[in-house]
Amino acid sequence: MMQHNINIDFQNKAEIEKFQTNKLIELLNYLEKESKFYQNFFRQNNIDIHKIRTITDLKQIPPTTKRDIQLQNWDFLCVDRTQIVEYVSTSGTLGKPVVVALTKSDLQRLAYNEYLSYTKMGINHNDVIQLALTLDKQFMAGMAYYQGAHMLGAAVIRTGPGVPSMQWDTIFRMQTTTLVAVPSFIIKLIEYAEQNHIDYRRSSLKRVLCIGENVRKDNLELNIIGKSIKDKWAIDIFSTYASSEMQTAFTECSEGRGGHIHPELVLAEVLDDYGNAVPNGEVGELVITTLGVEGMPLLRYQTGDLCYVMPDPCFCGRNTIRISPIFGRKSQMVKLKGTSLYPPMIFEILNAKAEIADYVVEVSSNQFETDDLTIYIALKNPEEEASQSIKSYLHASLRVRPEIIITDIKSIQNLQMREGSRKIIKFIDKRDSLK
């Protein structure tokens, strides 16, 4: 079982770096001994791990890619299969799903990760946490939030996603203080409450941990969804970023100034297209190294997600680096008539129009091997005049002319929840994603 150091966040930067360097050296020795993938990787790239003595030395090692894990999934396993106690998988939105195998120690690490996230938000053992997200279908996040709450000593209610009436009934009956949910669903909860005369502002709910979608812009101000929630409801909202492969989350503290790294659980770098570290504050690809993972640890793994780093101390007293909201995924960039677009940018424009009830953005390749963009929209008032107004607005805001299809809410929901899906999908990429 990994050793925890709850106070490392508050140490000075030199102590944090020393602590992480020792963890890194432990990881390199472990990979060379136990990982078939990294044994071959070190040999093929002439890597002598004994020459990696500092975090800066990591640049001598080429990154590990999504493709590596997809094509050599089981070569990353560092333990005998009899030691695996849980299998999870990625959602497969970037191609073939990846299996992540966890040991008992990894499950404890996962719980500790969310324990740290909860404490950053000011949650303690007196809280009641309602999980409005999937806890089945090999979904890691639901399991992490559940086990982290138990490590904290808080009460947990597993409501799962959807069904606003049930969510509100549970909140009032159980006196829920914290909700974990997708932020766009919070908007639907508010709308349902207003339509059914529920006095949601007098509920016991104090805060929402927003998963799966940004609630802040790149300058850390609230985006359209975040502002829509706060304008209606004086509730604390926190954003978080995580992935199954890295088994770690970057979660905001009460200051709302970026997602804090857990230094005992992960190393983070932000690199340009050539593998060089970008200056602090500049956008690059997040590359992570897991610390303390036993089953399938990763070394310099390219997440594909774009962000920037904030190295300055936070007003909360922590001296760990923070990452910005995710700009988008490199592989999900849409190139349309010379204009580069990322899904979060498109979502922000769509979320700004109150007339839009829901939407799905789809990108595909055409016969000329360039991108085609289609936006499916359901309107709250689907009149012809409203449809034309929305189309004009989108063409002007996006500065390109995607195909816009106005449809009904049921069709949108069918697109969002495809067979086997674990969460609502608002971006569908029909291009070849395993590149």
Question: Which residue has tokens 């975040």?
Answer: 226
Tell me the C-alpha distance between 245 and 408, whole Å.
36
E runs forming strands in 41-114: 84-89, 99-103
Beta strands 155-158 and 128-131: pairing type?
parallel
Contact 142, 173 (CB under 8 A): no
Which pLDDT belongs to residue 328? 82
**393 is written with which tokens?**
């607005």
Nearest of 156, 148, 71, 138 to residue 102 by alpha carbon: 138
Question: Which residue has tokens 């975090």?
Answer: 55
Residues whose CB is less than 8 angstroms from the CB of residue 205 and which lie 6 or more positions away in sequence, other chains included: 171, 176, 177, 178, 179, 235
Tell me the C-alpha distance between 361 and 344, whole Å.
10
Which pLDDT belongs to residue 96? 66
Which pLDDT belongs to residue 348? 86
Nearest of 139, 224, 218 to residue 180 by alpha carbon: 139
Tell me the C-alpha distance between 69 and 63, whole Å.
12
Which pLDDT belongs to residue 330? 77
Three-state DSSP state, 177: coil
Q: Read off the pTM.
A: 0.82
Angle (CA) 202-190-228 rounded to 5° is 105
Q: Name residue 362's beta-bridge partners.
A: 374, 428
Tell me the C-alpha distance between 83 and 387, whole Å.
57
Contact 345, 328 (CB under 8 A): yes
pLDDT digit string (tens) for the chain, length 435 residues: 444 556 899 999 999 999 999 999 999 999 999 999 999 999 999 999 999 999 999 999 999 998 899 899 999 999 999 999 999 988 544 456 789 999 999 999 999 999 999 999 999 999 999 999 988 888 898 999 999 999 999 999 999 998 999 999 999 999 999 999 999 899 999 999 999 999 999 999 999 999 988 899 989 999 989 999 999 999 999 999 998 899 999 999 999 999 999 999 999 999 998 889 999 899 999 999 999 999 999 999 999 899 999 999 999 999 999 999 998 877 777 877 667 788 888 888 998 888 899 999 998 887 666 788 899 999 988 777 778 888 888 888 887 788 899 999 999 988 888 665 667 888 888 886 444
What is the Rg, in whole angstroms, of the alpha carbon atoms belonging to the chain? 22
**232 is written with which tokens?**
């209606």
